[in-house]
Amino acid sequence: MEKKTLILGVIGADCHAVGNKILEYGLTEAGFNVVNIGVLSPQEDFINAALETNAQVIMVSSLYGHGEIDCRGMREKCQEAGLKDILLYVGGNIVVGKQNWEEVYGRFKSMGFDRVYPPGTSIETAVGDLKKDLHLQ
């Protein structure tokens, strides 16, 4: 089976690198070709990497709470770049403060994200969703 490629990175002015490395390891171990663009990454870096590698998924993480602002318009930018079918995943501490998770989830879904994960989601959960969404199981 051909390995599916995903772009992994930490969006915006966020420099939290530990979770990013754990995700990279776990996703690689699960059989994915992981292109890790690292921390402090604007939307354009994710999109350019996806275009260059013909990726099927963009996985955005954010830990400093400004993910909602950093992710606005990303689906539209993907479509403009020709990435109409790319899967968009987001997770971490993606909003400021304690907010109702269902509302946060709804806002990210309405922004065009296929999967939205709260803090503390296991890698196994993301891997399971990837396999479902990419029709690998």
Catalytic positions, written as ranges: 14, 16
The CA distance from 23 to 93, in Å, is 15
CA dihedral 106, 121, 42, 6 (to 10 degrees): -110
Please name the helix (run of DSSP H) or strand (run of DSSP E) that holds residue 38, with its range, or none.
strand 33-41
The CA distance from 83 to 69, in Å, is 21
Any idea what DSSP says for residue 2? P
